[in-house]
Amino acid sequence: MTDKVIECKNLTHYYGKRKIYEDLSFDVPKGRILGLLGKNGTGKTTTINILMGYLKPRAGQCEIFGEDIQHISPATRARIALLLEGHIQYAFMTIEKIEKYYSAFYPKWNRDAYYELMNKLKVAPHQKIANMSCGQRSQVALGLILAQNADLLVLDDFSLGLDPGYRRLFIEYLHEYAKAETKTIFLTSHIIQDMERLVDDCIIMDYGRILVQQPVAQLMSTFRRYTYRVEGEQPALSSDKIYHPSVIRDCAELYSFENRGYVERLLQEAGIGYSDLREETMNLEDIFIGLTGKY
Amino acid sequence: MNKAIFFKEWIKTRWYLLAALVVFVSYTLYLVLRVGNAIEFKGAAHLWAVLLTRDAVFIEPVQYLPMVFGLLLGVVQFVPEVVQKRLKLTLHLPYPQPGMVLMMMLYGLGALTVLSLAQLVAFWGFLQHYMAAELTAHILLTALPWYAAGYAAYLLTYAVCVEPSWRMRSLLILMGIGLLRVHFLLDVPQSYNSFIGSLFVFDLAALLLVLRSMVRFKEGCQD
Amino acid sequence: MKLFGKIYFYAAAVVLLAWLLPWLYALCTAEPKSTPFTLYSCVVDDFASLTVDDDGRIIYFDRKGHHYNDAQFDSILPMFYYRQLLSEGRMPDTLRGVAIDADKIQHNNFNVRLSPLDINKTLPKLYMMLESMPKRVDLEEPVEAFRSTAEGLEFIDMESNTLNAARSREFTDVMKRKGFVFPIGRIHGNPTTMKGYDEGYVMTDSHGALFHVKQISGKPYVRAVSLPDSVKVEQLMITEFPNRRTLAYIFTADNRLAILDADYNVHKTGVSFNPYRQSLTIVGDMFHYTVKVADEKEEHYYALDASTYATVDQMVNRYADDSASWSEYVFPFKVAFTSYNDGWVYPRVSDFSAKALPLGLLLAALLFFLDRRQGKKKYLETLFVLLLGIYIFIPLVLIKKRN
């Protein structure tokens, strides 16, 4: 029990009549990094809002550090660093002032961690955050998060709007930080690139449902892409164990957790004349596309 | 932590407060000079006669000043908090959430009180020199509902800003217009004497609306 | 916390709607209310009136139903229309056996109007003191004002805003010698120079005894007035009319008009008048006073004999009862912050109407079924709608979650 930092049971939420998801349950054990991945509008930010107590779910319970998320005590909030979507910060403050402000609230405040990161930015300490580039703002937000020395980091779509360099920087910093200090991270993202460097477990969401919920390593070793050649019109495939079969001219592809034998049997049963069947593992981004489709 | 909360409110409001200070001082000087001129040219006795026989208190031009000040203070303080939902950052800080809302409010109420009191004291200091206590009281008592309107305007603006749903927000705006109107119903001096106490309490109790909207913000109410 | 906020929200909404909805209703349905202009005629010994009919024509008539044209109307009210009569050469030399001329009429004519608003307001308790016998003909602007304390009067020089101890002592001593017990109870004066002469103030002391206080040649003039047992002063009004026959009107504790004449005799009249709720209009001439006492229900006319103050005649006009108004069926009560009768702002709840209960019941039922369709049963809300009707129904419906 004690090593579960986040514990959610049967979360269900609707906006009006539109279902976001039903019966979502997940745990985040101490020291793990969970990524909630999904396209835009699948309910990632909704989940963060629910977790941080900014949205009352239609049903279900969640606990963070053993406290009901609707009533997290200030002491527990001090252990949770929150990054809002778009690296929102108090844009009317300067680098110096925002550090001064935040440091007053956090007992374990690590001023050096913040300024170490700030020194890499080519901005003056008196510069207003509102006047910075998106990448620079993300570094300020990251610096503030790292300096909080929190036990749990909750990051909402941190890679949004970042240049590849800043994204990589952000990920490396986080990874090093999390592993060195056994921090727990709950993050969401709709950009999957580079994410396998960071995330231990993932939940992949689609509109109104959860597609996959498992460790990334397991996902990457079991989820396959099958490609094969076909000639002429072929009957459609239907099985709940394959994802997004498609044919472009004479090249066909499909995705599945099942092994080669299963796929061959499936193709034969469907009466599809195929040749040159290939099986391959993929990186996380391709897996994501395989699961969620290209559209 | 409280110092840090005030620090942030100060950063948001300092330029506005400076501008407001200039406006308050100008208004005060203008009215003091106006009354001073009247005394110079027509004599103090004439002013006494006007106060005793007509529904005039000389400082009428100031009547909407506290209300406008309170309203804009609310805007300056809380629009930056709700734009991009920064309030989520503020409420996530390890500080009791209603306490955070109230501390930010305390800052604004403090600013309102300081400016209002300073102006009233300045009027009093000037007027008591030329007029009997009854007349000074006559003028200042007449002005009290105007200053109470400042508090109402501030708290209602706060509630409107924090309120997450547009439907409730529109209702709060309508309610605010009605409540503010109650402060300006009659141009008869001292007409609010028996009501101003309860009116002021009712104005301050509008903080309940702010807390309610904060809870609604937390619950993510959409309509 | 949320509950208190909710209570505040609905309470404020109910108060504001109970204030603004009836106000809007009245604004939309208001019709001009005009009553005939009425005076007592010393010629026909009856109340004569003029009114404007629906076509905009002026109609002249008396209580007995006689109709007049405008020339006839002028001549039955010669004291009021004397200038018109004079210009037409129709002015009689004598009336009721008394020789009359324009100067005499003008000297005796006066009219005065007192509304509850004149009394129901808060004024600084400071009183400017005029000189009743100025060296020049015209009255001079006052230079001093006084206040009343438990010890006596305090005179303040207005220009320098300083106490004048000598004057305070002088007035206080004379008043105390005349039996005045401080502080002042009721007081009335009209400290303006826009009048023919000055009579200072009429006032009561803390025991209710009546005094006349003015300043003559810089010295205090104080006169105690003996009041009949039947006259207890509630309010006072100094008259200062050109003919100097009266000094003040006394509005008594039993709601009567009494007249203090210039010789300090008190005449209790038959006029029933409550200065806090009713307005008083008096048009006086050599022969009669036409006294009108009006409130929201009726106008009561009295004709008083100008020399004896005895009631010669009286007449009551009740306003048409507009109780058939729809508003009673819609609004269970009304809230107003101001009133035509006073200069104060505070909430006043009035016009409780049981006739609005059926609408409340209807709205409550409507809301109850709406809620039940959503699978909710809100008994408390239903009860509130039953009692507060439309005032709480509107905000409840506006806030109701759309589903």
User: What pLDDT is stored for residue A18 in this prediction?
Assistant: 85
Mean pLDDT (whole number) for C32-47:
89
In this structure, how many other beta carbons lie within 10 angstroms of the beta carbon of residue C288?
Answer: 23
| C52: helix, strand or coil | strand
Mean pLDDT (whole number) for C72-79:
93
Mean pLDDT (whole number) for B114-135:
96
Apex A48 CA angle, A85 and A170, nearest 5: 45
User: What pLDDT is stored for residue C226 in this prediction?
Assistant: 95
User: What pLDDT is stored for residue C32 in this prediction?
Assistant: 73
How confident is residue B194, by pLDDT bands cut at 50, 70 and 90? Answer: very high
Q: What are phi and psi of C207, to 5 degrees?
A: -100, 0
Residues of B with Cβ-Cβ distance to A78 under 8 angstroms: 94
Residues of B with Cβ-Cβ distance to C2 under 8 angstroms: 211-212, 215-216
Give the whole-angstrom CA distance, residue C284 versus residue C304. Answer: 9
Mean pLDDT (whole number) for B105-116:
97
Question: Prior bond to C358 cis, omega within 30?
Answer: no
Tell me the pLDDT tens digit for each residue of A200-229. 999 998 888 888 889 999 999 999 999 999
Tell me the pLDDT tens digit for each residue of A277-293. 999 999 999 999 999 88
Nearest CA-CA distance, residue B24 and chain C, Å: 27
How confident is residue C402, by pLDDT bands cut at 50, 70 and 90? Answer: low
A135, containing H or E segment: helix A134-147
Q: A interface mutation test: which of B10, B79, B85, B93 has the most A CBs within 10 A?
A: B93
In this structure, how many other beta carbons lie within 10 angstroms of the beta carbon of residue C14?
Answer: 20
Chain C residue whose CA is closest to B191: C344
How confident is residue C88, by pLDDT bands cut at 50, 70 and 90? Answer: very high
In this structure, how many other beta carbons lie within 10 angstroms of the beta carbon of residue C226?
Answer: 10
Kindly determine whether residue A100 and residue B4, on different chains, have CB atoms separated by under 8 Å: yes
Point out the least confidently predicted range of A256-265, B143-152, B194-203: A256-265
Last residue of a domain, one of A218, A237, A269: A218
Q: Of A203, A205, A220, A263, nearest to A35 (Cα)?
A: A203
Whether residues A209 and A253 fall in one domain:
no
From the DSSP assignment, how many helices (H) and strands (E) are in chain B?
A: 9, 0
The residue behind tokens 């990874």 is A175
Mean pLDDT (whole number) for C28-46:
87
How confident is residue C112, by pLDDT bands cut at 50, 70 and 90? Answer: very high
Any chain B CB within 8 A of the CB of C122? yes
B133 Cβ contact list (under 8 Å, min separation 6): none
Torsion of CA C234, C238, C241, C245, to 10 degrees: 70
pLDDT at B88 over 70: yes
DSSP string, B153-218: HHHHHHHHHH---HHHHHHHHHHHHHHHHGGGS--STTTTTTTHHHHHHHHHTTHHHHHHHHHHHH
Whether residues A56 and A151 fall in one domain:
yes
User: What pLDDT is stored for residue C325 in this prediction?
Assistant: 76
Q: Of C233, C228, C174, C178, nearest to C208 (Cα)?
A: C233
pLDDT at A1 over 50: no
pLDDT at B210 over 50: yes
CA R_g for chain B? 20
Residues of B with Cβ-Cβ distance to C1 under 8 angstroms: 98, 208, 211-212, 215
Q: Considering only residues 97 to 116 of chain A, which have any Cβ-Cβ distance to chain B shorter than 8 Å?
A: 97, 100-101, 104-106
Whether residues A147 and A16 fall in one domain:
yes
Residues of A with Cβ-Cβ distance to B96 under 8 angstroms: 74
A47 Cβ contact list (under 8 Å, min separation 6): A11, A24, A36, A188
Q: A interface mutation test: which of B14, B89, B107, B217 has the most A CBs within 10 A?
A: B89
> What is the identity of the amino acid at A29?
P
User: What pLDDT is stored for residue C324 in this prediction?
Assistant: 56
Any chain B CB within 8 A of the CB of C83? no
Nearest CA-CA distance, residue A110 and chain B, Å: 16
The residue behind tokens 């309010």 is C235
Mean per-residue pLDDT of chain C: 92
Q: Kindly state the tokens that stand for A290.
A: 């395989």
Residue C305 vs residues B198, C119, C241, C269, C287: alpha-carbon distances, Å: 50, 27, 17, 10, 6
Whether residues A201 and A265 fall in one domain:
no
Tally of domains within chain A: 2
b/e code B16-26 from CB counts within 10 Å (16+ = b): bbeebeeebee
Mean pLDDT (whole number) for A240-250:
87
Q: Is A203 exposed, middle or buried (0-12, 13-18, 19+ CB in 10 A)?
A: buried
Tell me the pLDDT tens digit for each residue of C160-197. 999 999 999 999 999 999 999 999 999 999 999 999 99
Kindly determine whether residue B220 and residue A54, on different chains, have CB atoms separated by under 8 Å: yes
Nearest CA-CA distance, residue A176 and chain B, Å: 25
Q: A245: domain range?
A: 224-292
Own/partner long-range contacts of B128-131 (Cβ < 8 Å, ≥24 apart): B129/C161, B130/B35, B130/B39, B130/B44, B130/B47, B130/C161, B131/B44, B131/B47, B131/B48, B131/B51, B131/C161
For residue B219, give the nearest of A56, A75, A89 by CB distance.
A56
Point out the least confidently predicted range of A173-182, B151-160, C16-25, C65-74: A173-182
In this complex, how many residue pairs, one in chain B and one in chain C, have their CB atoms less than 8 Å apart? 129
How would you classify residue A279: left for phi > 0, otherwise alpha for psi between -120 and 50, otherwise beta?
beta
Strands A224-230 and A274-280, by their bridges, are antiparallel
Whether residues A206 and A250 fall in one domain:
no
Tell me the pLDDT tens digit for each residue of C322-331. 655 788 899 9
Tally of domains within chain B: 1
Domain coordinates in residue numbering, chain C: 2-31+345-399, 113-281
For residue B212, give the nearest of C5, C19, C344 by CB distance.
C5
pLDDT at C33 over 80: no
Q: Of C402, C395, C347, nearest to C10 (Cα)?
A: C395
User: What pLDDT is stored for residue C301 in this prediction?
Assistant: 97
Percent of chain C with pLDDT over 70: 98
Q: Considering only residues 2 to 61 of chain B, which have any Cβ-Cβ distance to chain C shorter than 8 Å?
A: 43-46, 48-49, 51-53
- Cβ C285 vs Cβ C121: under 8 Å: no
For residue B52, give the nearest of C7, C128, C343 by CB distance.
C128
Whether residues A242 and A200 fall in one domain:
no
Residues of B with Cβ-Cβ distance to A74 under 8 angstroms: 93-96
How would you classify residue A123: left for phi > 0, otherwise alpha for psi between -120 and 50, otherwise beta?
beta
Q: B46: domain range?
A: 2-219
Mean pLDDT (whole number) for C256-285:
96
Last residue of a domain, one of A194, A218, A242: A218
Chains that touch B (3 or more CB pairs under 8 A): A, C
pLDDT at C261 over 90: yes
For residue B208, give the nearest of C8, C159, C161 by CB distance.
C8
Any chain C CB within 8 A of the CB of B206? yes
Residues of A with Cβ-Cβ distance to B94 under 8 angstroms: 74-75, 77-78, 105-106
Tell me the pLDDT tens digit for each residue of C358-393. 999 999 999 888 888 777 777 888 889 999 999 999
User: What pLDDT is stored for residue C321 in this prediction?
Assistant: 67
Residue B158 vs residues B106, B187, C2, C11: alpha-carbon distances, Å: 12, 28, 16, 19
Residues of C with Cβ-Cβ distance to B188 under 8 angstroms: 121, 343-344
User: What pLDDT is stored for residue C400 in this prediction?
Assistant: 79
Mean pLDDT (whole number) for C257-282:
96
DSSP C308: T
pLDDT at B49 over 80: yes
Give the whole-angstrom CA distance, residue B32 versus residue C398. Answer: 48
The residue behind tokens 């240049």 is A163
Q: Kindly state the tokens that stand for B38.
A: 């009247």
CATH code of the domain containing A174: 3.40.50.300
pLDDT at C43 over 60: yes
Q: Of A25, A32, A44, nearest to A5 (Cα)?
A: A32
A167, containing H or E segment: helix A164-180
DSSP B61: G
**What are the respective helix, strand and coil percentages of chain C, to the nearest 5?**
25, 30, 40
- The pTM (predicted TM-score) of the whole model is 0.92
Give the whole-angstrom CA distance, residue C315 versus residue C321. Answer: 18
Mean pLDDT (whole number) for C151-155:
96
Q: C interface mutation test: which of B135, B155, B208, B222 has the most C CBs within 10 A?
A: B208
Cα maximum dimension of chain C? 90
Sign of CA dihedral A50, A56, A58, A60: positive
User: What pLDDT is stored for residue C375 in this prediction?
Assistant: 72
A82, containing H or E segment: strand A80-83
Q: B interface mutation test: which of C115, C126, C128, C164 has the most B CBs within 10 A?
A: C126
Residues of B with Cβ-Cβ distance to C142 under 8 angstroms: 45, 49
The residue behind tokens 């504001």 is C16
- Cβ A216 vs Cβ A201: under 8 Å: yes
Mean pLDDT (whole number) for C194-210:
95
Residues of A with Cβ-Cβ distance to B220 under 8 angstroms: 49, 54-56
How confident is residue A190, by pLDDT bands cut at 50, 70 and 90? Answer: confident
Tell me the pLDDT tens digit for each residue of A141-175. 989 998 999 999 999 988 887 888 888 888 888 88
Mean per-residue pLDDT of chain A: 89
Chain A residue whose CA is closest to B223: A16
Nearest CA-CA distance, residue C157 and chain B, Å: 8
- Cβ C278 vs Cβ C294: under 8 Å: yes
- Cβ C281 vs Cβ C113: under 8 Å: yes
Kindly determine whether residue B1 and residue A105, on different chains, have CB atoms separated by under 8 Å: yes
Give the whole-angstrom CA distance, residue B86 versus residue C351. Answer: 48
Instruction: Return the higher-pLDDT residue of C137 and A129.
Output: A129
Chain length of chain A: 295
A111-120 vs A134-147: helix crossing angle, rounded to 10 = 160
Whether residues A280 and A149 fall in one domain:
no
For residue C147, give the nearest of B134, B179, B206 by CB distance.
B134
Mean pLDDT (whole number) for C90-113:
91
